[in-house]
Amino acid sequence: MTNDKKVTLYFVRHGETQYNVEKRIQGFCDSPLTERGIFQAKSVGKGLSDINFKEAYSSDSQRVLDTAKYAIDNRDIPLIIDPRLKEMNFGVLESLIEEEIFTQHGNILERLFSFKDLNASAPEGESYIQLFTRTTNAVADIIKKHALEGGNILIFSHGITIGNYILQVTQSQDYSVHENCSVSVVSYINGQSKVEKIADTYYREKGSEYLNKQ
C-alpha cells in the first residue's frame, strides 16, 4: 500500500524565438527569445501566479531557461536544469528553413512531422521513441522526488518534446500543436497518469490581459 500523493506537472513551452519567426528547424540548436517571446514568458508566468509551485525544471537550452526565468520572475521557486527535457535532436536539419531542407532531403519533413511513425528521425537525429524515453525518465525522476509530499511542479521545455510526450502518454492518434508558452497539465498518483490540459493558452492569455493593463 503506497502513501503517494498527487503530483501535478505543468508543462510550459518556451516563448517565441528568432528561429521560430524565420521558420527554421530548431531542436538542439538555439536562438534567442524575441520581444514577443519575452512578453509571452512574462504573461504565462503571471497567468500561473495564483498556483503554488514547489519546484521548476527546465531544459538546458537558453531559450527555455530564459522563458523559465521571465515566467518565475521574483517568485521563490527553485529552478533545476535537466538536459533530458531538451528538444528533439533534428540532426542535419538543425537551423535549416523548409526550402533548404526540401532541396537537400526531399519531402523528409512530411514523413517526420506526420507523427504516425514513432521510429521516424532526421538523419543523425533522434526518433520520437528515443525522445519519449529520455523525457519519460526525466518525468519519472521528478515524480519520484515529489510523490511523498505531492504538489504542483513547473516544467519548461519544447513544443515537440512536450507534444510527443502527451501523444504517447494518451496513446492518441492526433498530435496537438503546442503554441509558444501554452501549458499542458498532467497529474500522477500511484503510478497512474491523468492528462488534464493539452496545449492550453489560457494562462498565457490571462497573464497577457493583466500585463497589458499595467
DSSP letter string, 25-90: --SSS--PBPHHHHHHHHHHHHHTTTS-EEEEEE-SSHHHHHHHHHHHTTS---EEE-GGGSPP--
Look at the block and give the residue holding cell 511523498.
148
Q: Which domains does the chain have, with CATH numbers?
A: 7-212 (3.40.50.1240)
Q: 3 pLDDT exceeds 80?
A: no
pLDDT at 4: 87
**pLDDT (tens digit, 9 = 90+) per residue, 132-157?**
999 999 999 999 999 999 999 999 99
Inter-residue contact 88 to 126 (CB < 8 Å) = yes
Categorize the per-residue pLDDT at 1 as very low, low, confident or very high, splitting at 50, 70 and 90.
very low
Look at the block and give the residue holding cell 501566479.
49
> How far is Cα 109 from Cα 114, in angstroms, rounded to an integer?
8
Look at the block and give the residue holding cell 525522476.
141
Inter-residue contact 67 to 33 (CB < 8 Å) = yes
Using a pLDDT cut of 70, give the percent of the chain over it: 99
Determine how β-strand 53-58 pairs with β-strand 79-81: parallel
Burial class (CB in 10 A: 0-12, 13-18, 19+), 101: buried
**pLDDT (tens digit, 9 = 90+) per residue, 36-90?**
999 999 999 999 999 999 999 999 999 999 999 999 999 999 999 999 999 999 9
Q: 30 pLDDT exceeds 80?
A: yes
> How far is Cα 145 from Cα 154, in angstroms, rounded to an integer?
14
pLDDT at 214: 82
The pTM assigned to this predicted structure is: 0.97
The CB density around residue 196, as the number of other CB atoms within 10 Å, is 13
**pLDDT (tens digit, 9 = 90+) per residue, 154-177?**
999 999 999 999 999 999 888 899
Categorize the per-residue pLDDT at 2 as very low, low, confident or very high, splitting at 50, 70 and 90.
low
